[in-house]
Amino acid sequence: MSKKNINLDKNLDDSYQEGVEDYDNLDSPVDVDDEIIDDPIKEKIKPKEITDLPGIGPTSAEKLKAAGYETYESIAVASPMELVAVASLGEGTAIKAIKAARDALEMGFESAEKILDRRKLISRITTGSSSLDELLGGGIESQSITEVYGKFASGKSQWCFQLCVTAQLPKDQGGLDGAVLYIDTENSFRPERVSQIAQYRGLDPEKVMKNIFVARAYNSDHQMLLAEKGVDLIKDKNIKLVIVDSLTSQFRSEFTGRGQLSDRQQKINKHMRLLQKIAELYNVVVFVTNQVMSRPDILFGDPTDAIGGNVVKHASKTRVYLRKGTGSKRIAKLVDSPSLPDGEAVYNVTGDGLVD
């Protein structure tokens, strides 16, 4: 190689190093010209593994992976305090790592057209009832939390049993051909009931049972831990549906009185946030049931309200209120949805499950 070429290579290396130092000193992507998106320097320094994120060494990476933070997506949507807690990082280091992950994923403003394309990836699970499916725009959707609440004997757990079966149906029959993760907080899971519904739907009950992974939660901390541990099953067992039945019973029994209300709501909020992240990151259906209470301040109309207050109401994107009718008849009222109008549907709870 000629001396001229050696000098040229050295100049290029110096220019590249200066470019890297300039980029590291930037306070915000806003300071960068639009054309830098195609800059090869930015592409070269864009991290590819979590160990390439600033401040994340091999030890920190192992701690993050053990806690479920294995991808850029999981780190990008985390809060600094979460990374501080699980990986013993400094708060400043955690902020830099999250920012680098977001920059790598280009998590800034995007056109509504791209969001629409992403929405097309949403899948739905049929409820087994055409009237309910119509009410819900085709079934229970993925990438968000669907909540059903109602009084005792309103059929909340029957929805869970039904979805355990319909989630395993082929996609052309309204299912997702996947397995189910079931967190049982009230000891209400009944495999014989699931088997009965599976037989009616033409599925092998034994095979259906093998694709349902059930865990009994004995307190609120255990419930939250099961949701965290469930991430591994989602990746390994083709989980397409996550059920929590019921969401608030453990929190309701452990935190009593107004003095503990704030602590309870903070824990529920953390739990709901994790469920939402699971739904979005893995494109799964998250379905929760909820208990109710009677509000004495409501003098006219139905005083029934769901437990958990606004924390649960805001986190649940689709909310359905269940009421008991005469005999096997039940009424489902769509209370809240960002894309569907309010409405009601009448269905029946029979030995064959939820039917019209």
Domain ranges of the chain: 3-105, 118-355
Report the share of the chain in percent with pLDDT over 90: 62
- Reported as half-sphere exposure (CB side, CA atoms, 13 A), residue 79 has a value of 6
Mean pLDDT, the chain, rounded, equals 85
Mean pLDDT computed over 264-278: 94
Cβ atoms 302, 161 nearer than 8 A: no
Confidence of residue 78 (pLDDT cuts 50, 70, 90): confident
Mean pLDDT computed over 101-128: 86
Does residue 141 register a pLDDT over 90? yes
Per-residue pLDDT at 111: 85
Confidence of residue 256 (pLDDT cuts 50, 70, 90): confident
Please tell me the pTM assigned to this model: 0.76
Mean pLDDT computed over 322-339: 95
Low-confidence winner among 81-85, 118-122, 263-267 (lowest mean pLDDT): 118-122
Q: How far apart are CA 215 and CA 183, in angstroms?
A: 5
Mean pLDDT computed over 330-352: 95
Per-residue pLDDT at 6: 44
Per-residue pLDDT at 252: 92
Does residue 118 register a pLDDT over 90? no
Residue 229, H or E segment: helix 220-236
User: Is residue 148 left, alpha or beta, with left meaning phi > 0 and alpha meaning psi from -120 to 50?
Assistant: beta
221: helix, strand or coil: helix
CATH of region 118-355, choose from 3.40.50.300, 2.130.10.10, 3.40.50.620, 3.40.50.1100? 3.40.50.300
Query: Per-residue pLDDT tens for 10-63?
Result: 444 444 344 434 433 333 333 333 333 344 333 433 446 888 899 898 898 898
Considering the domain 3-105 in this protein, what is its CATH number? Answer: 1.10.150.20
Per-residue pLDDT at 20: 38
Long-range interactions of 75-80: CB distance < 8 A, separation 24+: 75/50, 75/101, 76/101, 76/102, 76/105, 76/107, 77/277, 77/280, 77/281
